[in-house]
Amino acid sequence: MRKLVMMNVLLIVVLIFGVLMICPTSDAADKEIVVGFSQIGAESAWRVANTESIISEAKKHPNIVLKFSDAQQKQENQIKAIRSFIAQGVDVIAFSPVVETGWTPVLKEAKRAGIPVILSDRAVDTDDDSLWVTFMGSDFVEEGRRAANWLVENYERLKNPDKSMDVINIVELQGTVGSAPAIDRKDGFEEVLAKYPNFKIIKSQSGDFTRSKGKEVMEAFLKAEGKKIDVLFGHNDDMAIGAIQAIEEYGLKPGKDIIIVSIDAVRGAFEAMLEGKLNVTVECSPLLGPQLFQAVQDLMAGKELPRRIVTEEGVFPQEVAAEVLPTRKY
Ligand code: GZL
């Protein structure tokens, strides 16, 4: 009898222990985490895809509360949003800085409030690296190098037969003035071109990463240089797509009379390549949501984050567009 009682007690202990193992009491993984995210705006298809990635990923984390703010591409709106997140006492602040400079004061306020800051997509230029815990996003200098390397390797086979290789005139549509991608893509592109003196940038101006401004600036380039233009380098696909409209309205064939190289690899670029109007797009992935919220969970669980989380990316020339387009997520 005594043995039976002992057996039942042992069974009950094992059952209780087993239940506790399956349903642990709430721990760090369940603690609610409030994240304040300041997004630049909705200036391009890339940005829209980036926002979608962040918002949809946040929904997959039951313990994440996302406070999302759109700055309409104005730094003062981002600074206001960050100050509001600080006042609300969020657990983590993340943002994509519209330009590199001017962030130190507000990031010091976040630090004084004990709120960690994650840089998403773009970096900041500050002399105090303790003001942010990690920067996740692409290597823009490498994207500029990839654009230039593809151009010097492929221009001769793609150009109009009557065009010379002695001097190749390039016009450049830069991204937002002062932004990390605009600064770094230009640096990477020019670093490679320095080895090929026959490739010359004859005009360079910001199109602010938008289709409309890209078209407007390309119209001005065509008015000034016309058929002298051999190549367009666009810092993003949206400006290149706007420029394609300007080139067609001017009476030239984009992708043939003017070889076009751009960056992002958004759906619109693949569609333009299928029409033969764009020659190559260098990938810059906006799908940062999964990395961002993994970093937030790790940070709040007390884990050390790497200072730099780089996204792996490729280069998509016109000849692969048909095969690759169905696989694209943005
Ligand atoms: C790059 C991102 C840039 C894209 C543009 O990571 O910051 O901003 O290249 C977007 O399309 O507007």
pLDDT tens by residue, 102-147: 999 999 999 999 999 999 999 999 999 999 999 999 999 999 999 9
| Residue 108 sits in the same domain as residue 183 | no
* Mutation choice for ligand 1 from 264, 283, 309, CB with most ligand atoms inside 8 A: 264
Is 160 part of a structural domain of the chain? Answer: yes
Is 5 part of a structural domain of the chain? Answer: no
Whether the per-residue pLDDT at 182 is higher than 60: the answer is yes
| Residue 146 sits in the same domain as residue 256 | yes
Give the Cα separation of 257 and 251 in Å (integer).
Answer: 10
Give the Cα separation of 30 and 300 in Å (integer).
Answer: 11
Amino acid at 46: W
* Cβ atoms of residues 235 and 263 within 8 Å: yes
| Residue 129 sits in the same domain as residue 112 | yes
Instruction: Give me the mean pLDDT over the 171-175 stretch.
Output: 98
Q: What is the pLDDT of residue 6?
A: 66
Give the Cα separation of 240 and 104 in Å (integer).
Answer: 33
| Residue 277 sits in the same domain as residue 145 | yes
More confident position, 25 or 239: 239
- Give residue ranges with CB within 6 A of ligand 1: 43-44, 46-47, 121-122, 137-138, 181, 209, 236, 238, 263-264, 284
* Cβ atoms of residues 94 and 173 within 8 Å: no
Closest to 215 in 3D by CA, of 243, 183, 248: 243
| Residue 305 sits in the same domain as residue 226 | no
Average pLDDT of the chain, as a whole number:
93
CA of 148 to the centre of ligand 1 (A): 18
Q: What is the pLDDT of residue 25?
A: 43
| Residue 148 sits in the same domain as residue 279 | yes
CA of 302 to the centre of ligand 1 (A): 31
Give the Cα separation of 66 and 185 in Å (integer).
Answer: 31
CA 289 to chain CA centroid, nearest Å:
11
| Residue 276 sits in the same domain as residue 149 | yes
Whether the per-residue pLDDT at 231 is higher than 90: the answer is yes
Task: Tell me the pLDDT tens digit for each residue of 184-222.
Answer: 999 999 999 999 999 999 999 999 999 999 999 999 999
Task: Tell me the pLDDT tens digit for each residue of 83-106.
Answer: 999 999 999 999 999 999 999 999
Alpha helix positions (H), 170-259: 180-193, 211-225, 237-250
Domain count, the chain: 2
**Atom in ligand 1 nearest the alpha carbon of residue 235:** 9
* Cβ atoms of residues 109 and 89 within 8 Å: no
Instruction: Give me the mean pLDDT over the 48-75 stretch.
Output: 98
**Atom in ligand 1 nearest the alpha carbon of residue 122:** 7
CA of 163 to the centre of ligand 1 (A): 32
DSSP strand pairing (280-283 vs 315-317): antiparallel
Whether the per-residue pLDDT at 241 is higher than 90: the answer is yes
* Mutation choice for ligand 1 from 38, 39, 40, 46, CB with most ligand atoms inside 8 A: 46
| Residue reference for tokens 């932004």 | 179
| Residue 77 sits in the same domain as residue 97 | yes
Q: What is the pLDDT of residue 279?
A: 98
What residues are paired with 67 via a beta bridge?
36
What residues are paired with 174 via a beta bridge?
206
CA of 176 to the centre of ligand 1 (A): 9
| pLDDT range class, residue 2, cuts 50, 70, 90 | low
Is 17 part of a structural domain of the chain? Answer: no
Q: What is the pLDDT of residue 16?
A: 53
* Mutation choice for ligand 1 from 39, 47, 52, 70, CB with most ligand atoms inside 8 A: 47
Closest to 232 in 3D by CA, of 193, 258, 264: 258
- Taking CA 146 as the corner, what is the angle to CA 142 and CA 149, rounded to the nearest 5 degrees? 130
Q: What is the pLDDT of residue 52?
A: 98
Closest residue by Cα to atom 3, ligand 1, is: 181
* Cβ atoms of residues 231 and 170 within 8 Å: yes
Task: Tell me the pLDDT tens digit for each residue of 298-310.
Answer: 999 999 999 999 8
51: containing domain: 31-137+286-312
DSSP strand pairing (308-310 vs 33-39): unpaired
Give the Cα separation of 133 and 152 in Å (integer).
Answer: 38
Residue 92 phi, psi dihedral angles, 5° rounding: -140, 140
Is 41 part of a structural domain of the chain? Answer: yes
CA of 47 to the centre of ligand 1 (A): 6
Is 248 part of a structural domain of the chain? Answer: yes
**Atom in ligand 1 nearest the alpha carbon of residue 238:** 11
CA of 324 to the centre of ligand 1 (A): 21
Q: What is the pLDDT of residue 23?
A: 44
Whether the per-residue pLDDT at 234 is higher than 50: the answer is yes
The rounded percent of the chain whose pLDDT value lies above 90 is: 89
The burial class, CB within 10 Å (0-12 / 13-18 / 19+), for 233 is: buried
Closest residue by Cα to atom 11, ligand 1, is: 46
Is 151 part of a structural domain of the chain? Answer: yes
| pLDDT range class, residue 272, cuts 50, 70, 90 | very high
| Residue 77 sits in the same domain as residue 167 | no
Q: What is the pLDDT of residue 310?
A: 87
| Residue 191 sits in the same domain as residue 303 | no
Give the Cα separation of 97 and 77 in Å (integer).
Answer: 11
Q: Which positions ≥6 away from 29 have C-beta within 8 Å?
A: 63, 297, 301
Closest residue by Cα to atom 1, ligand 1, is: 181
Give the Cα separation of 249 and 313 in Å (integer).
Answer: 33
Whether the per-residue pLDDT at 312 is higher than 90: the answer is no
DSSP 8-state assignment for residue 258: B
Is 328 part of a structural domain of the chain? Answer: no
Give the Cα separation of 268 and 325 in Å (integer).
Answer: 10
| Residue 119 sits in the same domain as residue 154 | no
Task: Tell me the pLDDT tens digit for each residue of 12-42.
Answer: 655 555 444 444 444 556 799 999 999 999 9
- Taking CA 126 as the corner, what is the angle to CA 84 and CA 194, rounded to the nearest 5 degrees? 130
Is 243 part of a structural domain of the chain? Answer: yes
| Residue 172 sits in the same domain as residue 278 | yes
Q: What is the pLDDT of residue 43?
A: 97
CATH code of 79's domain: 3.40.50.2300
Compute the residue count for the chain.
330
